[in-house]
Amino acid sequence: MTDWHFPAGQRFQCSQCGLCCRGWRIHVDAQTAARLKGTPEARRLEHKDGRVFVRKDAEQRCSFLTPTNRCELHDRAKPAGCRQFPFRLTRTPDGVFVGASFFCPSIQANEGLDLSEFQPELEEAVAHLPIWGAEGLRVWNECRLKWADYRRLESHILEHPLLEEGLAQALWSLAQFSLNPGRNLNEYLQGAQAALEPPDEPLVLMEHHWYENLMRHLGEKPDRRTLQAPAAPLERYLRAVLQRKGLINRRALLGNLALLFLVPRFYRHWNTTLGSPERAIQECENKIVTHPNNLDDLVERMSDDFRELDPV
Ligand code: SF4
């Protein structure tokens, strides 16, 4: 029997704001594409790089979105990704971890039913998911981390009284471990605080350097001021990403952790430029954590730099 883990106190109720139906590319899974084949709706699909996507209108909205923010495919052939949004499911040796995208305003506002109420409708999706961590997790190139050690790394961050400091220590420890995988990760975690003294060097310098690089890559002007922003939404978001196991899928663990380490800097920047912590978290979720696909080269270079960091 599979264990299910839900984030404590997280609620959701779709308000049909339509936000998740615009902006990004909407992928159509093979089963849904087959169901739509030969129907008039198939003309609104496009094929790219061997995958199928929904065409968007001039305002970048999904072409199946009605003026009242309803989905034309809702009862017939809604793509799997759309059916699942905003839920995030990650299958691991310890069971299924359920989280949700903070791009969704209802998740940020924490309105509606407890996420655990949605378990029956999520069960079908889980059977097809890979089990991340069963054979260790890829840290970088050939270096792998055992699942139990990953859980230790995660606990180190979550139990640290200052979450951002815990993230910095975890990043330094994992980067060092990737250079010496024969050693015990725990030793690095225990020595991280001393290794990172004084606290403003050198991870902070690296943080600024990569924040500026990524900002330029995203086509935005980096902000060099020391920026303040409410801490509670950021802390809640970082904890949610860790709880939903957002570090372990897609790319190598070190790259994911490096991106998460940079999220606070981006959050403060977007809070200043957009004037709202909620908007800032949405940007972090969309551009840094969930859809950093066009950042792959940069993330690779960034991970290399963090691996070469020797602050001792
Ligand atoms: S963003 Fe959230 S609330 Fe808005 S339509 Fe999508 S799932 Fe519903």
Residue 96 reports pLDDT greater than 60? yes
The pLDDT value recorded for residue 285 is 96
The residue to mutate among 104, 118, 121, 290, having the most atoms of ligand 1 within 8 angstroms of its beta carbon, is 104
Q: Which of 237, 2, 28 is nearest to 124 (CA)?
A: 2
What average pLDDT score do residues 288-293 get? 86
Question: Each residue of 110-128: pLDDT tens digit?
Answer: 999 999 999 999 998 888 8
Q: How far apart are CA 162 and CA 183, in angstroms?
A: 26
Q: How far is the CA of 27 from the centre of ligand 1 (A)?
A: 17
**Ligand 1 pocket check for 11: Cβ under 6 Å:** no
Residue 296 reports pLDDT greater than 90? no
Residue 202 reports pLDDT greater than 70? yes
Residue 312 reports pLDDT greater than 70? no
Question: Cα–Cα distances in Å, from 263 out to 50, 168, 308?
Answer: 32, 12, 21
What average pLDDT score do residues 93-108 get? 97
Q: How far apart are CA 26 and CA 91, in angstroms?
A: 23
What are phi and psi for residue 201, nearest 5 degrees? -135, 145
**Lowest-pLDDT choice from 70-74, 178-182, 285-289, 293-297:** 293-297
Q: How far is the CA of 69 from the centre of ligand 1 (A)?
A: 10
Beta bridge partners of 71: 65
User: Which atom belonging to ligand 1 lies closest to the Cα atom of 15?
Assistant: 3
Nearest CA to ligand 1 atom 3: 14
- What SS3 state is found at 96? strand
**Among residues of the chain, what percentage have pLDDT more than 70?**
98
Do the strands 45-48 and 51-54 form a parallel or antiparallel pair, or are they unpaired?
A: antiparallel
Nearest CA to ligand 1 atom 8: 14
The pLDDT value recorded for residue 28 is 92
What average pLDDT score do residues 1-16 get? 94
Residue 311 reports pLDDT greater than 70? no
> 143: which DSSP letter?
E
What average pLDDT score do residues 196-212 get? 83
The pLDDT value recorded for residue 225 is 84
What average pLDDT score do residues 31-46 get? 91
The pLDDT value recorded for residue 101 is 97
**Lowest-pLDDT choice from 98-102, 137-141, 204-208:** 204-208
> 197: which DSSP letter?
-
Residue type for position 262: L
What average pLDDT score do residues 37-45 get? 91
Nearest CA to ligand 1 atom 6: 20
What average pLDDT score do residues 175-203 get? 87
Q: How far is the CA of 13 from the centre of ligand 1 (A)?
A: 8
The pLDDT value recorded for residue 200 is 61
Question: Each residue of 210-244: pLDDT tens digit?
Answer: 999 999 999 999 888 888 999 999 999 999 999 99
What average pLDDT score do residues 241-257 get? 93
Give the residue extent of every domain in the chain. 4-126, 137-308
For the whole model, what pTM was predicted? 0.93
**What does the mean pLDDT of the chain come to?**
92
Residue type for position 13: Q
Q: How far is the CA of 101 from the centre of ligand 1 (A)?
A: 10
User: Which atom belonging to ligand 1 lies closest to the Cα atom of 18?
Assistant: 5
Q: How far apart are CA 106 and CA 129, in angstroms?
A: 26
